[in-house]
Chains A and B, each alone.
Chain A
Amino acid sequence: MAGQVDALYLYLVLVSAVMTVLIYLAVVVLAVKFRRSAGHKAEQIEGSTVLEIGWSVIPFGVMLTFFIWGALLYFKERTPPTDATEVYVVAKQWMWKIEHMEGQREINELHVPVGENIKLVMTSQDVIHSFYVPAFRIKQDVLPGRYTTLWFKATQPGTYHLFCAEYCGTSHSGMIGHIVVMEPRDYAQWMTGGPSIPLPEAGKQLFSTLGCSTCHRFDIQGRGPNLQNAFGKPVLLEDGRTVMVDDNYVRESILNPTAKIVNGFKPVMPTFQGLITDEQLNALVAYVKSLGQPAAGTAGAQNQPAASPAGQTQKTQVQ
């Protein structure tokens, strides 16, 4: 992606340089040629509609190329591939907390394997932050109260700057870290270090300890919707609207359950606002997500955590 951004940037720099030189040259040449001198008089010119329309329309045409190229690139930057590995990011004053699906946690560092599509699902515990990796030319604000996403594919192993780009208070300039891009083999090694419970598994435990499972049942119709295979599909609401069951909808339904009631259910669920942390919320969302995914991937992530990195390594090698 960085290469594509740089290509567009270079195009803009070239066009701008040409424009700037043309305007500067015109001003200098005209100012010298028609400088005030004895016996020389200004000649009045009213204007020229043809010229003026010309220098309105032609630059606009050039600008349209900026627009189209820029919009296409943005579309790519903002549309994560479906096979991307998800990583949760929780920002707070003034640190980045990273949670891998496999359960590994990091602070101010994000380890990723080279060549793999990574999708970050991000939220903030307090104010607005912005996840910025200049080397990858990507940036996305991280908001409290909702998820925003960002994706990238690192192509070179190495360590890259991670900055907070949205001013967030005293230590804004200290809210920095690194993206560590590793060879798949090293990454698999890194992943196996340290004990951890996979995120969906942690979510599953919460799902029962918080009592979610008493209403959201999988066997019979409970008081809440059955969440099996719900994620990633549209659902009809009581007021006739349809919403996509995505990270943000699941999050909102936990924190503000009465906002969007599924058709046929009563607004009986209590809010969990302030009762659970963003990390717990992420685990729950990851769990609900795992319920909605095709069985194979879910089973892998849920039952055999150790196999997961190995599986990813394989996938990377195939690519």
Chain B
Amino acid sequence: MASAAIPANQVPEKKTNYLTNGYSVKSWLLTTDHKRIAILYLISITAFFFLGGFFAMLIRLELLTPASDLMHADTYNKAFTMHGMIMVFFFLIPVVPATLGNFLVPMMIGAKDLAFPRINLLSWYLYILGGGLILHCMLTGGVDTGWTFYTPFSTAFTNTKIIEAGLAAFIAGFSSIFTGLNFIVTIHRMRAPGLTWNRLPLFIWAQYATSIIMILGTPVVAITIVLVAVERLFHLGIFDPRLGGDPLLFQHLFWFYSHPAVYIMILPSMGVISELITAFSRKRVFGYRFVALSSIAIAVIGFLVWAHHMFVAGISLYAAMIFSFLTFFVGVPSAIKVFNWTATLYKGSISYATPMLYAFGFIGLFTIGGLTGLFLATLGIDVHVTDTYFVVAHFHYVMVGGVVMGFLGGMHFWWPKISGRLYPEGWARLSALFVFVGFNLTFFPQFILGYLGMPRRYADYSQMPEFQVLNVLSTAGASVLAVGYLLPMIYFLWSLRYGPLAENNPWAAAGLEWMTASPPPTFNFDETPVVTWEAYNYDELDHLKEQKEVAVG
């Protein structure tokens, strides 16, 4: 809509890009341009990230001392619930697909926009509606169930805002279903001529795999939320045994979505890492097919492992063994990715630019996150460490260490394309260091805490003062981490005004998105590109560059 109305009085010699194409609030709020919607998402998701981070700091401050002294136990319970809900539903799940994915999927495949631009805008409004509800829920009393909503606590034993919080997650879920649907149709139908599946950037493969999980998994959690609401409001026995229900049924339904949701979070970041490693090694990825198909394998096998969250919940011995086995199975494609990325470095021409530092950080943290996942998949060990800080440390290594490192790496890499400006490299490297060090200091001690037996979700550990030292370390690390996260926000904003102008392809990277202007015009490409080369054709690019240099010389 907005894009169709190119102002007639535009200065003719300066080409408009998606940012200069209209400055009114309306031109943003009613835009159907995937790049503008990506920016809308970026702003709102960043706001939720810092809100979720605020609750994380509350948690860390409370745990600085054993006694429950900073806040009442109820407040603490609401704080970790809000932290979990906001970070999972309003940050981790949408962050990479809705920002980088939205911006890049059409550009990387040489399309003008997503297949359904209006549905894309609708998905942002749904996100905002869900986000508004969760804020309303937070301001009018909050929820104290943890983001997992376990029954029958959530249906019969808490008088906090379950319905509002559930509705917020329900609505945000539809936003994610729409994004997934849009990506799948776009990737199938709108690839540029010559851009076959085997020539797609790995980021696209990862988004595709993610979209499959989004449209197949999200409806299940939506149904589960409805069932919780039905039991809570109308006392129909579904989960509460006093009404003839089964509390474990909830856990099965919940984890059937929420485990694959972990892959919704991590797969897009893995896609980002594949782009970064290749661009800064100037190499085609080692084993393109294995890396591409491992994303699909993760998406498919990821649906078959949910009950590994329930090894002590009361499922049968044999069910536990099957799910343990399948969980090891899903470890294989993740391992393939790490090994192939590492192998890609071999005989490369490696630059240590900030995005690459984040890629290294991702490999470092994801390796630990993945390997500790194997501890949890091992039945005899899981019994001891599940529901302790070991689990907390593990999933933060994967989700924060993995997802956020991928997101920040991607933001630095594509920032010149998104904003048309360069960020300050020195500050960026410094903040990458802060993030890596702060992260490890925050979460590594929690592995030890978990093995020593500190349970999750404890507001008070005054009977166990032996846990304090590790908690103090963790809180100290969280402060370093906070600085690492605040810095990029500051210098990105700074660069919008003061950063040097970016060229079309400042990294000399492969990929269609680098073949158009920075920032790109509204419809991305002046002419639809025709692809005659394989993905990551760095040898051709370098060859062309040499020829040019020779010609100039």
Question: How far is it, in angstroms, between the C-alpha of A53 and the C-alpha of B150 when the chains are bound?
Answer: 41
B383:A173 contact, CB within 8 angstroms: no
Question: How far is it, in angstroms, between the C-alpha of A72 and the C-alpha of B378 when the chains are bound?
Answer: 10
Q: Chain A, 109-126, contact with B by CB distance < 8 Å: what is the 0/1 string?
A: 000000000000000001
User: Residues of A with Cβ closer than 8 Å to B?
Assistant: 4-5, 8-9, 12, 16, 19-20, 23-24, 26-27, 30-31, 34-37, 40-49, 51-52, 55-56, 59-60, 63-64, 66-67, 69-75, 77-79, 93, 126-128, 130, 132, 134-135, 137-141, 143-146, 148, 161, 163-174, 176, 256, 273-274
Q: Known contacts being A126-B157, A169-B158, A173-B459, is A69 close to B378, with CB within 8 Å? A: yes
Q: Known contacts being A70-B381, A143-B314, is A128 close to B150, with CB within 8 Å? A: yes
Closest-CB distance, B19 to chain A (whole angstroms): 32
Q: Known contacts being A27-B360, A44-B539, is A34 close to B378, with CB within 8 Å? A: no
Q: Cβ of A26: which chain B residues have Cβ within 8 Å of it?
A: 342, 345
B50 within 8 A of A: no
A34:B350 contact, CB within 8 angstroms: yes
Question: How far is it, in angstroms, between the C-alpha of A229 and the C-alpha of B338 when the chains are bound?
Answer: 59
B505 within 8 A of A: no
Question: How far is it, in angstroms, between the C-alpha of A163 and the C-alpha of B454 when the chains are bound?
Answer: 9
Closest-CB distance, A57 to chain B (whole angstroms): 9
Q: Known contacts being A67-B378, A78-B317, is A170 close to B150, with CB within 8 Å? A: no
Closest-CB distance, B298 to chain A (whole angstroms): 13
For the complex of A and B, the 4 pairs showing the least CB-CB separation, nearest first, are A145-B241, A134-B453, A73-B380, A47-B287
Q: Which of B339, B378, B459 has the most CB of A within 10 A?
A: B378
B349:A40 contact, CB within 8 angstroms: yes
- Which residues of chain B from 235 to 272 have a CB within 8 Å of any chain A CB? 240-242, 244, 246-248
Question: How far is it, in angstroms, between the C-alpha of A315 and the C-alpha of B450 when the chains are bound?
Answer: 36
Q: Known contacts being A66-B374, A72-B380, is A42 close to B312, with CB within 8 Å? A: no
B351 within 8 A of A: yes
Stretch at the interface among B92-100, B318-326, B483-491: B318-326
- When C-beta atoms are compared, the residue in chain A nearest to B310 turns out to be A141
B371:A74 contact, CB within 8 angstroms: no
A12:B374 contact, CB within 8 angstroms: yes
B346:A163 contact, CB within 8 angstroms: no
Q: Chain B, 260-292, contact with A by CB distance < 8 Å: what is the 0/1 string?
A: 000000000000000000000111101111100
Q: Cβ of B288: which chain A residues have Cβ within 8 Å of it?
A: 46-47
Give 4 A-B pairs besides A20-B367, A46-B284, A59-B332 with Cβ atoms closer than 8 angstroms.
A27-B363, A45-B284, A69-B378, A128-B247
- Which residues of chain B from 497 to 553 have a CB within 8 Å of any chain A CB? 538-539, 542
Question: How far is it, in angstroms, between the C-alpha of A256 and the C-alpha of B237 when the chains are bound?
Answer: 14
User: Residues of B with Cβ closer than 8 Å to A?
Assistant: 68, 73-74, 77, 144-146, 148, 150, 152-153, 157-158, 240-242, 244, 246-248, 281-284, 286-290, 311-314, 317, 320-321, 324-325, 328-329, 331-332, 335-336, 338-340, 342-343, 345-352, 360, 363-364, 367-368, 371-372, 374-375, 377-384, 386-388, 451-453, 455-461, 463-464, 538-539, 542
B460:A174 contact, CB within 8 angstroms: yes
Q: Known contacts being A55-B339, A59-B335, A143-B248, is A34 close to B348, with CB within 8 Å? A: yes
A43:B317 contact, CB within 8 angstroms: no
B153:A169 contact, CB within 8 angstroms: yes
A36:B380 contact, CB within 8 angstroms: no
B460:A168 contact, CB within 8 angstroms: no
Q: Known contacts being A8-B378, A27-B345, A73-B380, is A19 close to B317, with CB within 8 Å? A: no
Question: How far is it, in angstroms, between the C-alpha of A42 and the C-alpha of B340 when the chains are bound?
Answer: 16
Question: How far is it, in angstroms, between the C-alpha of A174 and the C-alpha of B379 when the chains are bound?
Answer: 28
Cβ-neighbour of B328 out of A4, A30, A63 (below 8 A): A63
14 residue pairs A–B, Cβ–Cβ below 8 Å = A19-B371, A30-B350, A34-B350, A35-B350, A42-B349, A45-B284, A46-B284, A49-B287, A60-B331, A71-B324, A74-B320, A128-B153, A145-B242, A273-B242
Q: Known contacts being A66-B328, A141-B313, is A77 close to B380, with CB within 8 Å? A: yes
